[in-house]
Structure 1
Amino acid sequence: MVWFETILVVVTLFTGVVWLLDKLFLARRRKARGGLLDEEPVLVDYSRAFFPVLALVLVLRSFVAEPYKIPSASMYPNLHIGDFILVNKFAYGLRLPINNQKFIPVGEPKRGDVVVFHYPGYLCRNGEQEVRSQTGDCAMPQPVNNENWIKRVIGLPGDRIGFDGSALSVNGQRVAYKPLGTYEDPKSGVPGAQLLEEGLPGRSHWMLESQDRVLPPGEWVVPAGQYFVMGDNRDNSEDGRFWGFLPETELRGKAFLIWLNCSNWFCKDGFDPSRIGTKIN
């Protein structure tokens, strides 16, 4: 959530400046006037108390790990609606908060990684229907810069990705699939879907394929500095097949752990303890 990150940065800087000004100047002036050091303004008192906590949270959230909640069914069966996950913020380089500018390169995404990113496109309206576009070639496009999405990296820069409506090919090699049975969870949005193990080169993972939905075929050549991403719930995912490529500059980090599962923030409707501690493959 970009708005939360912005507020956190602003409040941290504000409390830090107030605390520093008091330490360097205001406390000395109070003492020179004969005042007691503990007779400090309320604002200074709160700033001195909260700044270290806010600074620690900002550093951890920006450069170590960020929490994120799964809002949709696009990554079933591996990530469920209500999963709270942790995102490794240094796996793909350290980035500044708010503008996401990389200042220390560390690594690059690998095929099969589950990544969180800023949606790199526009929201267009066709009557009452919302349509997403990476280029903004529509009437009155609105930039979408405050949404974090999660998908799996399928294509790396230079890869040729093919999709024939049900199966993938990577650089001309068809990906192997192993049937694992029927997946019945109604929350997936595709009840009765086929559970498959998809053997991406160097990484295999579970995915869902609907027996009733057939998406149109396509082929994409991934440009330099960009990635092609798809959801594991293959027939119920709005991903690169519809809006294009993911620029490296929009990456937020690599998802690696489920630490809680709740249908809402306060777990009013219960939670699934079996999801806690699950590693994201």
Structure 2
Amino acid sequence: MNFALILFVLVVLTGIAWVADKLFFMPQRRRAAEAAVAEFDRQQARVGERFADENPAQTRAKLRDEKLRQPWWLEYTASFFPVILVVFLVRSFVVEPFKIPSGSMVPTLLVGDFILVNKFDYGLRLPITNTKVTEGRPVKRGDVVVFRYPKDESVDYIKRVIGLPGDVVAYQDKKLTINGQPVPETQLPDFYDEERDEASGNQRAGYMKQFEEDIDGRKNRILNNPAVPPFVVGADDYPYRSNCNYNDRGVICKVPPGNYFMMGDNRDNSADSRYWGFVPDANLVGRAFFIWMNFSDLKRIGSFE
């Protein structure tokens, strides 16, 4: 089940308990506490000084605390409401944490990176329905974005924005072109992918060709595997598929209105728009901007491009 929906249900249930406690149960407990203290005082007056409680103030406080204490079912509902409400609001409108589960964004993001996603940059959206209520700033080429996977919106994906609405994106012979302009690349030292090495059992297979890509003045690293052919195998049937031309050199797509073309930085190990199509604006969750933890490598904590 969608975690946002679970959190929303918890907010509603604990909120109802919190309001009921404030309006009904707490006043009832206060009356019971006042009655218990008054009854204690009457008993003390009747028994006289010889048999009176040696510490009446302490006894009164104990009686009051016992009567004011919430029953267990309120303690585990109403008491948690403020915390759950804050978590829900922050997660829905400010930042949301995610964990990177796959290597599709290597070398920018590694498996095990815990990242933060800005939820208001592209405009505030209502939780659950994802309805946009404010505009925010436009999506830019090169942004790293979390979005709901178009073929299964219960799953979140993370990729880099390559094409904006109206753009013509060509990925031919593993070279990226946007609106007829080649995206500049600078070759970097080979990247060693430890997970790929362990999976294959061949250390040489762990090395990938690495490049620095410059998209609209924003630089990021990408990987290419020379052993993988440039053409796309197994592309799905998706909305606006007729906007794309697949050939033995790769794919050329014109991005339809209200949609984006996404690619992973690990170009030969990424299921992205080349395979399952465009991402509607309504599916955007937010812009990823910070690695807040990686238990295997604390040096990875920080911002990224």
| TM surpasses 0.5 | yes
What is the total number of aligned residue pairs between the two structures? 249
- State how far apart, in whole Å, the 1-side matches of 2:170 and 2:112 are: 32
The question of 1:4 aligning with 2:12 is answered: no
The question of 1:193 aligning with 2:208 is answered: yes
- Is the Cα contact below 8 Å between 2:105 and 2:266 reproduced in 1? yes
What RMSD over aligned residues (CA atoms) do the two structures have, in Å?
1.8
- Is the Cα contact below 8 Å between 2:30 and 2:68 reproduced in 1? no
Aligned residue among 227, 236, 249 for 2:269: 236
Instruction: Give the match for residue 174 of structure 1.
Output: 182
- Superposition deviation, residue 29 in structure 1: 4.5
- Is the Cα contact below 8 Å between 1:111 and 1:202 reproduced in 2? no
Identical aligned residues as a percent: 45
- Measured against aligned partners, the alpha-carbon deviations of 1:27-55 in whole angstroms (never above 9, x if no partner) come to 33455675776154322233332111111
Instruction: Give the match for residue 152 of structure 1.
Output: 160
- Superposition deviation, residue 154 in structure 1: 0.2
- State how far apart, in whole Å, the 1-side matches of 2:108 and 2:69 are: 56
The question of 1:51 aligning with 2:51 is answered: no
Higher strand share: 1
The question of 1:212 aligning with 2:227 is answered: yes
Return the letter of the residue paired with 2:161.
V
- State how far apart, in whole Å, the 2-side matches of 1:100 and 1:232 are: 27
- State how far apart, in whole Å, the 2-side matches of 1:208 and 1:188 are: 13
- Is the Cα contact below 8 Å between 1:113 and 1:152 reproduced in 2? yes
Q: Tell me which moved more, 208-217 or 65-74.
A: 208-217
Higher helix share: 2
- Is the Cα contact below 8 Å between 2:29 and 2:68 reproduced in 1? no
User: What SS does structure 1 have at the residue aligned with 2:128?
Assistant: coil
- State how far apart, in whole Å, the 1-side matches of 2:68 and 2:173 are: 70
Q: Tell me which moved more, 252-261 or 39-48.
A: 39-48
Larger Rg: 2
- Measured against aligned partners, the alpha-carbon deviations of 1:195-237 in whole angstroms (never above 9, x if no partner) come to 1011212322110011111221111111111100000001110
Instruction: Give the match for residue 183 of structure 1.
Output: 191
Instruction: Give the match for residue 79 of structure 1.
Output: 109
Q: Residues 32-181 of structure 1: matches in 2 within 5 Å?
A: 38-121=68-151, 144-181=152-189
- Measured against aligned partners, the alpha-carbon deviations of 1:117-161 in whole angstroms (never above 9, x if no partner) come to 11011xxxxxxxxxxxxxxxxxxxxxx121111000000011010
- Is the Cα contact below 8 Å between 1:76 and 1:188 reproduced in 2? no
- Measured against aligned partners, the alpha-carbon deviations of 1:168-201 in whole angstroms (never above 9, x if no partner) come to 1100111111111211223257622111011212
Return the letter of the residue paired with 2:22.
K
- State how far apart, in whole Å, the 2-side matches of 1:149 and 1:162 are: 22
- Measured against aligned partners, the alpha-carbon deviations of 1:5-31 in whole angstroms (never above 9, x if no partner) come to 222111121111111022123333455
Instruction: Give the match for residue 304 of structure 2.
Output: 280
Return the letter of the residue paired with 1:49.
S
The question of 1:222 aligning with 2:269 is answered: no
- State how far apart, in whole Å, the 2-side matches of 1:26 and 1:176 are: 67
User: What's the TM-score once normalised by structure 2's chain length?
Assistant: 0.77
Return the letter of the residue paired with 1:170.
I
- State how far apart, in whole Å, the 2-side matches of 1:191 and 1:39 are: 61
- Is the Cα contact below 8 Å between 1:77 and 1:188 reproduced in 2? no
Return the letter of the residue paired with 2:87.
V
Change (3 A) 1:192 1:32: closer
- State how far apart, in whole Å, the 1-side matches of 2:21 and 2:222 are: 57
- Is the Cα contact below 8 Å between 2:18 and 2:79 reproduced in 1? no
Change (3 A) 1:261 1:31: closer
User: What SS does structure 1 have at the residue aligned with 2:2?
Assistant: helix
Specify every segment of 5 or more residues in structure 2 that has no aligned partner in the other structure, as ranges: 37-63, 198-204, 232-249
Specify every segment of 5 or more residues in structure 1 that has no aligned partner in the other structure, as ranges: 122-143, 263-270
Instruction: Give the match for residue 128 of structure 1.
Output: none
- State how far apart, in whole Å, the 1-side matches of 2:97 and 2:195 are: 22
User: What SS does structure 1 have at the residue aligned with 2:76?
Assistant: helix
User: What's the TM-score once normalised by structure 1's chain length?
Assistant: 0.83
